[in-house]
Structure 1
Amino acid sequence: MQRNKISLLVLATIVGLGTLLSGCGDQEEVKPTASNSPQSEASKSTNKMKITMFNQGTFNAAAPIPPREEDIQRQMLEKALDIDLDMMIPQAGQATTKLNTLIAGGDIPDLIFLKSRADLAQYYDQGVLADLTPYLDQFPELQKRFSSDSWEAMSYQGKTIGVPGYDNVNGMSRSFFIRNDWLKKLNMEVPTTPDELFEVMKAFTEKDPDGNGKNDTYGFIGGMNKEGNLQTYGFDSLMWMFGVNPPSAIEVKDNQPIFLFIDPKMKEALAYIHKMMEANVVDPDWVTMNTPDLLDQKLFKGKVGFMIRDARRLEPDYQQKMKEISGEVPEWIVIPPMKGPYGDQIVERKSFQGNSWAISAKADKDKIIRILSMLNYLFTDKEAYPNFAYGIKGIHWDVVDGKIKNKTSELSKEMKEKYLWVDHYRMPRRGDDAEYFSFQNPKTTEAFTNNQQYVGPTLPGNLLTADPSDTLAADRTRFINESLVKFMTGKEPLSNWDNFLQTLDTKFDMQKYKETAIKQFKEAGIIK
């Protein structure tokens, strides 16, 4: 497997952690199965090997570790790999301190879960972690399990020093919600292009779709966070129709970095949003929408016809909130993202792989092989998968009509609390596994599954780190954010776009930022 060289500059990266669900129940005997060589060879060993695991990758750090005789997942791992597993769960917020204390005392855990690539590189530089490059070719299935960009994040100085920790979850939080009942009343179809979407939003605003005789509905609602960033609040999804996004979004094409926030297509995206503003199809409350909860309230009230929200808003609990707040349950449906003028059809970009499993430099060859065999079993054994991803067979999941059925959502609160510890083993769950989430509404599953095809690849700009000598970085980002808002609202005419670019160059040294990006991309092997 080829690995690109990553420099010391490229240490810190975005930590992507999905929103995860827990589940519990009574226990039932499960027969573990070992997978193919070399893992099966490890399971045949006559000497049980002790492996210590520092598991801050647990999905519930507050859950207790059960005794071995009650811990079915631990039993499976120990039997399949012929190991004695000693798992440590650090308390939330204390993981780094605890790990550093262990390292300082010379008691380095054999297997360590790390939450950021910065930590992975730092501990390797300190001599704490092993180089896994010589061993990974023995585990082709493990290599196939994760995407090339996830493995790329494990590469440092031309070596592979970690195994991806677990999949991030994509294709859920940026779902395109639209009022289907309003579409039906106005005799309109689901929009598929930006122009069609504009006409729908205009009709939702002007044609009294709720039939109350009042001018109190809007086509769209978005927002921005308290720092003035438009990302994740809806407007960025409109920009993706044109293949661009706000600061930090950088592509590489034809061996050159493309800064999407100053790309000519960004001007088109801003013109589209400005057109929406001029037509008054945007709820004017958007300027106060600086938390997800506030946007949810707009969804529940049902006075906006189109917005970007989490697919789980189709679940019964949220449907009940809609009924309590608006007196009805609007017929919200999740639709595919619009296909833009350049062919872009993106619901969101895949999150960067920040988390990882690393192995102690103190581990000898046999132990490294045994640990990689364990990870191979965890992440690639199909029969073992539901026992780790979902929980205990017969309680959290079962086989119904020949298919695996996750029953977590059906469990009582008491049963969930009784078996919270199964969350320590959920790391193998796939980020696109709808069954894992145990959705109660089939429409949620459908929306989540359909969205997967519109998740774009991770942008290489995620690998970049700030240049400590770039003293204008914060001011530059603030200026970009403020300018984009001014352009889309009309406070600054788009005829001044060239002035905006010139100001970036003359006042905020955009050239220095470009040179830093090119330098880091070259060191990472992304630009030749």
Structure 2
Amino acid sequence: MRKAIWIILLCLLAGGGSALYVWNTMKQSEHDEGEYSLYETEKPQIELSLYFSVPDQARIRDESRDFVRKTIEEKFNVRLNVRYMAAGDNYDAQLTALLHANNAPDMWIVRNSDGGSKHTLDGVLADMTAYISPLTMPRYFKYWETERELIGYQIHNRFSRAPVPYDKNDYRSYYIRKDWLDRLGLEVPATYEQYLEVLRAFTFGDPDGNGHNDTYGFSTSGNGTRLSADWPEYIKNGLAYPAFMENNRFVDMESDPKIEEVVNDIVRVLDEGVIDPDWFLNKGNQHIEKAVRGEVGIVLGETADFAMDANPQSLQSRSKAFHSEANWIPFSPFGNKPLRTGIDPGYPFVFAKATADNEPEKLVRLVEVLDWLVGEEGFLLTHYGLEGKHYVREGNSIALLDEEQEREIRQTGDFRSVWSFLTPELPNVFGLQVVNARLTDHDRQVKEYLAGMPAEEKLGTALTPPIGIDEGLFRAKQDEFQVKMLFSEKSGRNWPIYRAQIMHEYYGEQILRNFESQVRKARKSS
């Protein structure tokens, strides 16, 4: 422990005035982890502004009844200014507007594809050295993160972001309306050819039996700018999401030479008319909303409870509100071929440089709040509610009081979907076991299927572009060319030409070479 403190002290001294402020407020406390934390004997009330993403439809309807906010504000003597919305273009645009107006949140979660690269280069992110360490956030490092992984997560040689705690299990799977298959007398497709037959049947065979030609096989959301990584045609051509190593070579799914055939295959299914015609203009989770309403029969899901009866906001539960017989099950039209690589750190949380420069005490208090949220007490509150009201605990067993939770959601809003933004649904991290009476046989079958899915070997590190290079420009040009091939040229034949251009003129070669080097280094040291 002494060695760790000296290392952190040296980092703090290198961090300037804000770092010294943090060090001067440190003192050992006797909380449940028995580590060091930040506290002040008398804390003045501070306003903290947060900006984060939540699932579609998630919101607090009656803030006066928001017991999670009230608990945090009273426990830490803060006023919370919270903004949240579903991830997507609108989320990114709102954040950009706040930054341009010099009204940056104290903390936000980056949900765009560059992982905060541009924000780092623009100089709007704080150096987190003084704030994020095992000394200042003991729960974060005890339960979720390692110092080694955090070092590999840095970007442009700066400590300007930290990974949001993440679930290391893979849940990426396609889901299909089993009741539609049964109505049409079809089996769950196990090959790509069978998948195509199902697309045709779902589009032209009246799978819902309403006598109207109003359904399609598959949908996704292109947000008006890109192909979307959901298309099965990537997997058909040997491209697992999002990248992998093959024969000691880094393979980037979205920019690989095989994109030529991916585009050709997508053009073919589009020409058959079996895909939601609005897929490209769909934004965020609009394609999921169409699946809920019974307009499409196959979509991609990436969470454990994406189609579970036990989750009131799942595709399964919400679909049943429209069609009581709806039955979504996971499947893959590619047998044992992995759909993705193992899970590495995902989206980061970041702090505003303006706050660190002008009001570092806010970030000190914010770190206390965040570390509490990722600990057992904060996890239980944000995922299950108040003990004795929303759940009962006996030892390490948590029994959910479903009727009380549903009543709270009806009156207040879905507090779980909003306030669990910082931690995944993993009670086992704390040695807890949740007894959920809502779990059905259908849910248990879904869990069993997801647990048995294959995955490519994980990369072992977060991927960051070379110092000073904006990966976003590379991806934007990549998307522009792919959309052009899909809609204007209706062929992938020009991809070799376009790919050469983005590799040479938009630093693609340097970016991918840097990714490959990072993966080799991570695997060598593991």
Partner of 1:145: 144
State the 1:291 CA deviation: 4.3
Q: Which amino acid aligns with 1:260?
A: M
Quickly say closer, same or farther: Cα 1:303–1:314, change in 2 above 3 A.
Answer: closer
SS of equivalent residue, structure 2 residue 348: coil
Rounded Cα–Cα distance in structure 1 between residues aligned with 2:252 and 2:100: 40
Structure 1 equivalent of residue 480 of structure 2: 478
> What code does the residue aligned with 1:344 have?
P
* Structure 2 residue 491 is the aligned partner of structure 1 residue 500: no
- Report if aligned partners of 1:224, 1:290 keep a CA contact under 8 Å in 2: yes
Q: How does 1:147-226 map to 2 (within 5 A)?
A: 151=150, 155-156=154-155, 160=159, 163-167=162-166, 176-202=174-200, 204=202, 216=213, 220-222=217-219, 224-225=221-222
Letter in structure 2 aligned against 1:501: P
Native 8 Å contact 1:164 1:357 kept in 2: no
Give the letter for the 1:379 counterpart. Answer: V
| Residues 1:89 and 2:80 aligned together | yes
- Counterparts of 2:243 and 2:427, CA distance in 1: 29
Q: CA deviation at 1:266?
A: 3.7
Cα gap change, 1:259 to 1:300, in 2 (>3 Å): closer
Deviations 1:394-422 (A, max 9, x none): 333334995331646421567426x97x9
Describe the SS at the equivalent of 2:320: helix
Correspondence for 2:16: none
* CA positional deviation for 1:231: 0.7
**Residue 240 (structure 1) shift:** 3.6
1:237-386 pair list within 5 angstroms: 237-244=232-239, 251=244, 256-270=249-263, 272-273=265-266, 276=269, 280=272, 282-283=274-275, 285=277, 290-291=282-283, 295=287, 299=291, 302=294, 304-308=296-300, 311=307, 312=313, 314-321=315-322, 323=323, 329-339=324-334, 343-346=337-340, 352-356=346-350, 376-381=371-376, 385-386=379-380
Alignment counterpart, residue 35 of structure 1, candidates 14, 32, 35: 32
Larger Rg: 1
Aligned to 2:18: none
The equivalent of 2:108 in structure 1 is: 114
Q: Is the 8 A contact 1:432 1:452 kept in 2?
A: no
Secondary structure of 2:399's match? strand
Count of paired positions? 450
Deviation per residue, 1:8-44 (Å, 9 max, x gap): xxxxxxxxxxxxxxxxxxxxxxxxx9423215xx69x
Query: Which residue identity lines up with residue 177 of structure 2 in the other structure?
Result: R
Change (3 A) 1:187 1:141: same
Taking structure 1 as reference, are residues 245 and 398 closer, same or farther at Cα in structure 2, changes over 3 Å only?
Answer: same
Q: Distance in 2 between matches of 1:61 and 1:122?
A: 35
Contact 1:136/1:143, CA 8 A, preserved across alignment: no
User: Which is bigger in relative contact order (C-alpha 8 A, separation at least 6)?
Assistant: 1
Looking at structure 1, the residues matched to 32 and 158 of structure 2 have their Cα atoms a distance apart, in angstroms, of 27
Partner deviation per Cα, 1:460-503 (whole Å, 9 max, x = no partner): 7963489479988755531222224578xxx43x6x3xx43034
Give the letter aligned to residue 339 of structure 1. Answer: F
Q: 1:49 to 1:376 in 2, by over 3 A?
A: same
Please state whether the residue corresponding to 2:218 is helix, strand or coil: coil
CA distance in 1, matches of 2:236, 2:315: 24
- Cα 1:432–1:254, aligned 2, differ >3 Å: closer, same or farther? farther
* Distance in 1 separating the partners of 2:289 and 2:139: 48
Structure 1 residue 449 displacement after superposition: 8.4
> Is the CA contact 1:175–1:334 (under 8 Å) kept in the aligned structure 2?
no
Where does the alignment leave 5 or more consecutive residues of structure 1 unmatched?
Answer: 3-32, 79-84, 104-111, 324-328
TM-score (norm 1): 0.60
Matching of residue 405 in structure 1 with residue 422 in structure 2: no
Distance in 1 separating the partners of 2:160 and 2:279: 45
Q: Are 1:513 and 2:515 matched, yes or no?
A: no
Please list every run of 5 or more consecutive structure 2 residues that lacks an aligned counterpart in the other structure: 8-29, 84-93, 111-115, 308-312, 522-526
For 1:348-404, what per-residue CA distance to the aligned partner results, in whole angstroms no more than 9, with x for missing partners?
977832214699589999x97x987775554243x6631343322233333499533
Alpha-carbon contact 1:201-1:219 (below 8 Å) kept: yes
One-letter amino acid of the structure 2 residue matched with residue 151 of structure 1: L
Whether the 8 Å contact between 1:178 and 1:306 is mirrored in structure 2 is: yes
Distance 1:501 1:210, change over 3 A: same
> Matches of 2:208 and 2:65 in 1, distance apart?
54
Q: Is the 8 A contact 1:194 1:339 kept in 2?
A: yes
C-alpha contact (below 8 Å) 1:169/1:431 kept by paired residues: no
Q: Aligned-pair distance for 1:57?
A: 5.1
Q: Distance in 2 between matches of 1:500 and 1:450?
A: 36
Does the Cα contact within 8 Å between 2:189 and 2:198 map onto a contact in 1? yes
2: CA distance, partners of 1:192 / 1:144: 38
Matching residue of 1:463? 464
3-state SS, counterpart of residue 89 of structure 1: strand
Alignment-derived partner of residue 108 in structure 1: none
What residue identity is the alignment partner of 1:389? H
Helix, strand or coil: the match of 1:56?
strand
Contact 1:192 1:337 in 2 (8 A): yes
Cα separation, partners in 2 of 1:243 and 1:159, compared to 1, 3 Å: same
Q: What is the one-letter code of the residue matched to 2:386? A: I
The 3 A distance-change label for structure 1 pair 307 and 141 is closer
Cα RMSD after superposing both structures = 5.9
1:227 equivalent among 211, 215, 224: 224
SS of the equivalent of 2:81 reads coil
Letter in 2 for 1:239: Y
Could you say if the C-alpha distance between residues 315 and 183 of structure 1 is closer, same or farther in structure 2, counting changes exceeding 3 Å? closer
- Give how far 1:65 is off: 8.5
CA distance in 2, matches of 1:265, 1:521: 19
Which residue does the alignment assign to 1:10? Answer: none
Q: Which moved more, 1:218-227 or 1:56-65?
A: 56-65
- For the 8 Å contact 2:503–2:509, the answer to whether it is kept is no
Give % identity: 14
SS at match of 1:36: coil
What amino acid sits opposite 1:193 in the alignment? T
Equivalent residue number for residue 22 of structure 2: none
After the TM superposition, which residues 364-443 of structure 1 pair with which residues of structure 2 at under 5 Å, given as runs?
376-381=371-376, 385-399=379-393, 402-405=397-400, 407=402, 409-411=405-407, 415-416=411-412, 426-427=420-421, 429-431=423-425, 442=440, 443=442
CA gap 1:210/1:96 in 2 versus in 1, 3 angstroms: closer
TM-score normalised according to structure 2 size? 0.60
**How far did residue 346 of structure 1 move?**
4.0
Change (3 A) 1:411 1:159: same
